[in-house]
Amino acid sequence: MPAQSDVANRSVIIGRSSSHFTRITRIFAAELGVAYDFQVVRDLMSSNAEDYGGNPALRIPNLKTPQGVWFGALNISRELWRQSGRKLHVVWPEDLDAPVTANAQELVLQAMATEVSLVMAKVGGASEGGAHPVKLRTSLLNMLAWLEENAEAALAALPAQRDLSYLEVTLFCLVQHLEFREVLPTAGYAALNRFCQRFAARASAKETAFRFDT
């Protein structure tokens, strides 16, 4: 049983079980063996920063720690790495020094952000037929086509002795989420599906399956 002081000092992930950016952080926590509490943001339309742990961008995920609040999935994943006793070899975005790997990371994160815009516009009741949503969809399809063509090369270029990379975790969360939120059917992306099948075998992926919080 954890000591009471450990429980009192435990970090809190503020997010949603249906959010791909939140899932990144939960996969990192599981891989790194870091215990945390989970605080669900029930209303993503809230304009009160307090509902998001104080994040003025009104976004999730955020991580509450005794030192302060960390905003965003990358900051959180790094902080979880610092908290972990495991000292895994993680390849972070700034370690990607070839165009194929750096561009893959850029496009995965941009595709995730574009997907957020499309989902939030739908939730907010905006028309999907407007000029900008149509452009966003074209951009998303272009990015997915690029990733389908280049992801295998990018993954093969990662250091072989790594335990994990931000690229793999984010790519997995992106592809799974497109299907989960019915933004795009992903069955036609064979290379991306092969990658997801391999990644899905990890305990951290199994433990963090997308679901709508009740």
Output helix, strand, coil percentages for the chain, rounded to the nearest 5: 55, 10, 35
Report the nearest approach of ligand GSH to the CB of residue 60 (Å): 4
Selected binder of ligand GSH within 13, 34, 59, 174 (CB under 6 A): 59
For 170, the token pair is: 């984010």
Stretch that binds ligand GSH, among 69-77, 146-154, 179-187, 205-213 (CB under 6 A): 69-77
Q: 48: exposed, middle or buried (C-beta count within 10 Å: 0-12, 13-18, 19+)? A: exposed
In the bound state with ligand GSH, the residue whose beta carbon lies nearer, of 20 and 26, is: 20
Residue 72 in contact with ligand GSH, rule: CB under 6 A: yes
How far is the C-alpha of 180 from the C-alpha of 41, rounded, in Å?
Answer: 19
The site string for ligand GSH over 136-175 (x = CB under 6 A, - otherwise) reads ----------------------------------------
Q: From 165, 154, 152, 153, select the one nearest 191 (Cα to Cα).
A: 152
Judged by CB under 6 A, does residue 19 bind ligand GSH? yes
CA separation, residue 187 to residues 7, 131, 197 (Å): 42, 27, 12
Which residues sit at the interface with ligand GSH, rule CB under 6 A? 19-21, 44, 58-61, 72-74, 116, 120
